[in-house]
Amino acid sequence: MEAVSEQKPRSRRKRMTGKERREQLLDIGRQLFAERGFDGTSIEEIAARAGVSKPVVYEHFGGKEGIYAVVVDREMQQLLGMVSEALIGEHARAKLENAALALLRYVEESSQGFRILARDSHAASGTGSFASLISDIATQVEHLLADEFRSRGYDPKLAPMYAQSLVGMVALTGQWWLEVRKPKREVVAAHLVNLAWNGLSSLDPKPRLETLQRRRRTD
């Protein structure tokens, strides 16, 4: 008697909802933008990795500019949110430590996103550059420095400049640390705060350039 072969029904892939497809395209775009930047990424490759045709990408985002704008905006909001939540504590040093740790934690846990932001966001993002992001973070820090300056008899009007310097120092160190990943996050934060805090605690109220003063004496 001839054996009857049983054919198993073919498993059908579950069709993605519009929201699921959108998130898939954003994830793929994020990976490619981190690897190659905006100009090095093409709609063709995004569509190929997603297993869809180019019109599907255009339908959801209108092009890679649309994907890029959403990716950059999400990353900026995430980083700003992490730093804002970190600015807690009664003492100014604790807030500085928390903020440094938050930025480094973002670098460590969202390395793809940080690579995209640190490339200096393309004009297609519509959300500004990495420098503008640093400026936004510095704005949240400057009022802390202004209070500290007043208590020490320094000019609080200089707080915005110092805030830009401090946040820029941490951000640039984060770019370096993104590649080397040594020492550990907590160690890097400790050294950054050591440089910043001990420098702030010994500020000269009216600093002058020593080399410039020497030149004036010899003229």
CATH of the domain at 82: 1.10.357.10
Tell me if 24 is assigned to some domain: no
Helix H or strand E encompassing 21: helix 18-36
Number of Cβ atoms within 10 Å of the Cβ of 146:
19
Tell me if 136 is assigned to some domain: yes
Tell me if 55 is assigned to some domain: no
13 band by pLDDT with thresholds 50, 70 and 90: low
Structure tokens belonging to residue 149: 């300056």
pLDDT at res. 12: 56
Tell me if 20 is assigned to some domain: no
The answer to which of 136-145, 173-182, 189-198 has the lowest mean pLDDT is 136-145
Tell me if 56 is assigned to some domain: no
What is the span of the domain harbouring residue 103?
A: 72-204
**Residues in CB range of 43: below 8 A, 6 or more apart:** 54, 57, 58, 63, 64
Helices 185-201 and 92-109, interaxial angle, to 10°?
Answer: 150
Tell me if 4 is assigned to some domain: no
- Considering the entire predicted model, what is its pTM? 0.78
Tell me if 184 is assigned to some domain: yes
CA 112, CA 104: separation in Å to the nearest integer? Answer: 13
Tell me if 100 is assigned to some domain: yes
Domain total of the chain: 1
